[in-house]
Structures are given as C-alpha cells and as structure tokens.
Amino acid sequence: MDPRASVLWMRFKAHRFASTLTILLTLAVGILIGTVISKGVKGQEGKSRSSDATPLTIPSPQNLSNQFSQIAKQLEPSVVNINTESVIKTPQRRRGTPNSPDEENPFDDFFDRFFGGQGGGGGQGPGSARERSLGSGVLVDPKGYIVTNRHVVEKADRIRVKLDADPPGVLHDAKLVGADPETDLAVIKIEVDHPLPAARLGNSDGMQVGDWVLAVGSPFGLQETVTAGIVSAKGRNIVPNRQFQSFIQTDAAINPGNSGGPLVNMAGEIIGINTAILTDTNSYAGVGFALPSNTVATVYNQLISPEHRVSRGSIGIEFNAQENPAIARVYGVTAGITVSNVVAGSPADQAGLKVGDTIIAVDGKTVKTGDELVADIASRKPGSKISLGFVRNGKKQETSVTVADRSKLFASRLGEDLPGSDETAPKESKLGLSVRAVTPDMADRLGITAGKGVIAQDVRPGSFAEDVGLARGDVILEVNKQPVNNEEQFARIVATLKSGQDVVFLVRQRGSGPQDGTIFLAGTLP
C-alpha cells in the first residue's frame, strides 16, 4: 500500500474513534444529568420550599358568646335521666282484635304516640312482656323531688333515676309522689344523704314569641343533651278536651327521651317542661311543646300536699274550644261562652243551665273566653258556691251553682281512678276489678242505651279480670247472662260467684264505637 494512503487511513480511524468516544461520553453525561434532575423533580412533587413559612399558633380562649354554655353548665346537674320498667300483660285472645284499645282508643294518652317505650326486654312468661322506657326530669328541690311527665312514669313497676354526677351504672330508685292526668305532670322523689342541685323556676308569663330557649334532657337515652331554639308560639292547645294543657311551642330540638326535661330561658330558669312533639316520623320536626312553668308550679304544689292530687272545681258544662262568631250571632249574644253540653246530674244541670245558654259572668266578674271561665271555676274549692250570670233567649239571668270536684264529675271520661282514700271510690271485687256506672255522655258515644252497663274503672295487675282480658275503660254489659246497669247490681252478681265457677262477661271494649260489636271474655274463677 502507498505509504501516504496508509497514513491517511490511520488518521481516519483515529478520528472516527475519537468521534465515537465523544458521542458516548456526551450520552453518558446526559443520562447522568437527566437522572439527577429526575430525582430532584420527584423529590419536590409534594413539597415546596418552606423556609419562608410562618408556624401556626393557637390563640388564647375567647368568650365570644358563652351564654348558652353557661346556662348548660348551670342546668345539667339538675337534669336527670329516668328509666322505668313495667310488665305488660298481653292476653292472647285480645291480640289482633279489630278496633282493640291499642289500635283505636280515644281515651289513650295523646303523648304515647310521641314518647312511648324505646325498646323492650325479654318476655316474662306467656302473655307478658317487660317494657323499658327512657325519659327526663328536673330536680326542683334539694331533698330529691323531681318534676317529669306523667306518661314517663305511669304504670311503671320500677322507676330509677340517673343523676348527672353519678358514675356509670349508678341508679337511684324513685317513688311516685303524685301525678295529674290533665296536665300530664308527675312528681317523683329519690332518697339521698346530701342536698342535690335544684333548678330555679321562672315565670312563663314573661316569655315572648322569639325569645331564646334551651331544651335539656336525654333524647334517645343520650344524657346531658342541650338544644337551642326560640319560643315559636304561646297558648297552644293541641289536644282536644285537655283544657289545662296550654303549651309553649318551641323549635328547640325535642326528641323521644326529652320528655319531662326542662325548657329554660336565658336566665337559666325553668319556663316549661318538655312534653310533646308534632311529627310524622316520631322524631324532631321543628315543632315541640312544653307545659308552662306557672302551670307546673300550681300542679306541683298540690301533688306534694298530703292528698297528693290536684283538685279542680267544675260545674259540669262543655263549650267549643275555639270561638266562632257564627255561634254568637245565632244565639244573639255579643260576648261570653255558649254552653254546648250540660252533664246530666252536674251542678250546672241542677242549677237549671241549658244548652244554648251563654255565660257572661262569675260572681259579677265578666268572663269573655272559655279559658277565663275554666281558670276561674277550676281554682274554686269543691263545695263552694258561685253566682253565674248568663243570657238565655236574649235575656240576662242569674243562678247559684255549687262547684263540684272535676275529677269526680268527669272520672269516667278522664279514665282515671279516684284516690283510694276517697269514700266514694269504687271498691275492688274478688275479680280484681272495680266499676262505675256508665254516664249518659259515654253511653251516647258508645252507642248503647243510657243506664246500661258499668265501666271498668280499675283492673288489678295479675287478677282474674286481667287474665280474662278485661282492661280499664271496657264496658261490661252482662255477667253470666245477667244484665249489670249499676255498681250495686254488679256487686250482687259478683258476690254469688264461687271458686271454680265459669264467668262470662259481655263487653263493649274500650275505644269501640256504635259500629263495633260486643265480645265475650271468659274464664274459670280460681
């Protein structure tokens, strides 16, 4: 080969090697730089430079608006959780009975629909079950006196109270002091060896629509629950024929279990006892009702008296709860209360009052509304006399009326037992049953002939009467084919019954109407 060509070839090879080496080194450096850059980017994906960040600091506590919290702290020790237990007898023969008392019963407590038992325990044998329910109450006396709702504790075999300061599992047995069915209030008492924190009572008349209020209690068993709202309305009458239940309406959340707890104002005073809610779901819907504290105080003072009952005067008349101008125009009056019914044998009946008379004055004092009339007469002592001014056929007249005891006058309608100390109270028979005559008013509602049958006033738990299925409010028309039209006839028939004898009752069940028939309830006397 030509020496010159050989030199050129060697130079070319050296140049190509150098170029290749340069390219490889460049690629290596590029890859290395890319890797470093990639790692740097990945490391900064969730982070940024923080050298200029200012640490957060927690400020000192500030009392921006602590009135609610102060009231809650003040009231919570006075509010208690109430647990009740009762054995409910459920005779097999009455289950599923059309129009049974449990299904359609006009005498049933209105509030049962909202604050019934929240669960049950195991059965206690055939035809019975143990029912447990929860409610609230509020201490009003350091000695252990507690105000709650009657429907929270009625028919309870055992009442137990959980205090705010008690450790978990500690419950105090409570005794029922007294209860008032017309206001759904009750007083219970626990025994303790030290003073308890009692809440202060306020004047409900001072509350105005729009005022702030707090509801305190144990909704669904959740103790120490506080909700806030306003007074939505006053003077709400939500239950027919309950003339002594004029409620404060509130939108503070009230749920099952709140019943019996206090509604308090911004001074931390009780201005109501939470009693009912209006809802389609059995839970809070923005409309709750509390019985005013002024009513609570009046009832409480009578329930803690030696008689442990509320005595109210009545003359035995009825009238429309809502005023209607058409009634006044037809009867030719401009003011007053027009009588729609006079109870047979009542003081009003004996004094000569009639349907259509319009009452305008009591003892010379003008009365303009039914609430005024009821409040006046209810405050009178049974046996006292009043002068009643009224208008009949456009002419003013006056008559003297002797006030009666409302609980006795309307005993059958109220479905309540009279106290055992009352000499007029019915005596219990060997059947474990006491009865009263059916009033004309009740006979008309039931569609039976006036003067026929007796109403079961009291049925002792575990008695023969309860075992065969009789319940308070049932109307007994016959016993062993013999008609019973009054207490004396019933007593004479029962006196002839002997142990081992079959007994058959012909009964119109409680809550039945004229369209419903009668049934037989029977058994063998032990």
Read off the DSSP letter of residue 350: H
Give the β-pairing of 185-190 and 145-149.
antiparallel
CA angle, residues 14, 18, 21, in degrees to nearest 5: 140
Of 245, 66, 249, 237, give the one whose Cα is nearest residue 149: 245
Checking phi first, is residue 257 left (phi over 0); if not, alpha (psi -120 to 50) or beta? left
Taking Cα atoms as reference points, which of 290, 298, 362, 368 lies closest to residue 335?
A: 368
Minimal CA–CA distance to 228: which of 258, 264, 257?
Answer: 264
The backbone torsions φ and ψ at residue 128, rounded to the nearest 5 degrees and listed phi first, read -145, 160
β-partners of residue 392 are: 395
Contacts of residue 471, defined as CB under 8 A and 6 or more positions apart, other chains included, come to 101, 456, 459, 509, 510
- Cβ(204)–Cβ(293) below 8 Å: yes
How many whole angstroms separate alpha carbon 214 and alpha carbon 212? 7
Rounded to 5 degrees, φ, ψ at 45 are: -60, -45
- Rounded CA separation 163/144 (Å): 11
Sequence-ordered strand ranges (E) for 294-349: 313-314, 317-318, 337-338, 341-342
Q: Checking DSSP bridges between strand 200-201 and strand 269-277, what pairing results, if any? A: parallel
Taking residue 359's Cβ as centre, other Cβ atoms within 10 Å add up to 23
CB contact at 8 A, 488 and 511: no
Query: Cα dihedral angle (271, 275, 279, 284), rounded to 10 degrees?
Result: 60
Look at residues 177, 179, 203 and name the one whose alpha carbon lies nearest to residue 188: 177
Q: Which of 86, 100, 109, 184 is catalytic?
A: 184
Per the annotation, the verdict on 194 as an active-site residue is: no
Length of the chain: 526
DSSP letters for 410-465: THHHHT-PPPTT-TTSPPP-TTSEEEEEPPHHHHHHHT--TT--EEEEEE-TTSHH
Give the 3-state DSSP-derived string for 21-40, with helices as H, strands as E and coil as C: HHHHHHHHHHHHHHHHHHHH
Q: CA-to-CA distance for 32 and 280, rounded, in angstroms?
A: 74
151 is catalytic: yes
Cα 521–chain centre separation: 32
Q: How far is CA 496 from CA 84, 133, 469, in A?
A: 40, 42, 21
Residue 517: count of CB within 10 angstroms of its CB: 9
Backbone angles phi, psi at 18, to 5 degrees: -65, -40
* Longest pairwise C-alpha distance within the chain: 160
**Catalytic position from the list 133, 218, 232, 259:** 259
Which of 151, 180, 412, 463 does the annotation list as catalytic?
Answer: 151
Catalytic residue positions, numbered: 151, 184, 259
